[in-house]
Amino acid sequence: MNGLKSLNEEWKKWIKVCILKGVSTNQIASELFQRGWTDAAYELIEKKGEKLKRPRIDLNKNRIALNNKEVSITYTCHKPHVIVFDDFLSFEECSALIEDSQNKFKVSKVINDDDGSRVLSTNRTSQSVSYSKSPNRLVKTIEARIAELLNWPANHGEGLLVLRYEDGGEYKPHYDYFNTIKKGSDKIMQNGGQRVGTFLMFLSEVECGGATRFPKLNFEVRPKVGRAIYFSNVDLAGNVDNMTLHAGMPVIKGVKYLATLWIREEPYL
C-alpha cells in the first residue's frame, strides 16, 4: 500500500503532530477517511496494528469481483460513509426471496431504547420476516456475499430481514445504531455490541415513492431491483455517526420489498 506516501507534506506533518499529542490512531484515520484519504486511513491502522472498528470496502475500483458475483459501485460518500451498489442481487434472487417470505409476514417492531424490548411504533409501518439463523440456502448465499464484500465475518450479522411496505408504508427518520446513553442499549449490546453498519437491498420497484432518504445529506436512493446500500453507523474511531439519520419514504403507489442486514461489531449469537 502507498496511501500514506501519497499524502502531501502538510498532511504528513499533521499526522506526526497528532501522534505526538497522543491522538489515537483510529481517530487520526477517521479524519483522513472523511477527507477522502481512504487508503492512507486504512494503511495507518494496519501499520499501527490497530483493530478496524467497522467493515472495509475496496473503493479503488468501480466494479468489485466477488466469489460468485460482480457488483457495481454507483455512488460513494465519505462522511457519512455511504455506498450504493447496483447488481448486488439478481432478479431471480429477489423474486425467490419475495416468494419465500409470503404468508410469513408480521407487523414490524422497533427497539425501545429505555428497556431493550421490541415494541410496535407508528414511526414504522411495515411488515417483516426474520431469517435469523435460517437454514435457507439463498439467505446463506446472500449473507456470505455481504460478508465478502464488507470484509467482515458473516456471524456478525443479525440475520437477514425481509420487509414489505404497502401503500403509505414508511419508516420515519431514525438511526440504526444503539444510543449508549439509553439504559436499554446496555442490554441490547450484550450480544454483538454496537451496530456498526447497515446493508439494505431493494427486492422490487414501485411506481411512486419508497426511496431510502438521508435527510442530513439531502440525498435519497430510489428502489431498483438488485440495488443495495451500505452505510457505516460508526466512524473509523468507533464513534456513532449522527449523519446516518435515514428514512424509508412513504410508498405512494405499489408494494416495496426490501431486505436488511444489520452488522454488529462482534459475533451475534
Model pLDDT for residues 111-140, shown as the tens digit of each residue: 998 899 999 999 999 999 999 988 999 999
Confidence class of residue 1 from pLDDT cuts 50, 70 and 90? low
- Residues 245-254 have pLDDT tens digits of 999 999 999 9
Among residues 213, 217, 219, 216, which one has the least CA distance to residue 248?
Answer: 213
Look at residue 113 in the predicted model and tell me its pLDDT.
Answer: 87
Look at residue 49 in the predicted model and tell me its pLDDT.
Answer: 93
Specify whether the CB–CB gap between 80 and 243 falls below 8 A: yes
Look at residue 2 in the predicted model and tell me its pLDDT.
Answer: 75
- Does residue 183 have a pLDDT over 90? no
Instruction: Choose which CATH entry (1.10.260.40, 2.10.109.10, 2.60.120.620, 3.40.50.11720) describes domain 63-264.
Output: 2.60.120.620
Confidence class of residue 165 from pLDDT cuts 50, 70 and 90? very high
User: What residues does each domain of the chain span?
Assistant: 9-47, 63-264
Mean pLDDT along residues 217-239:
97
- Residue 118 gets the label, from left (phi > 0), alpha (psi -120 to 50) or beta, of beta
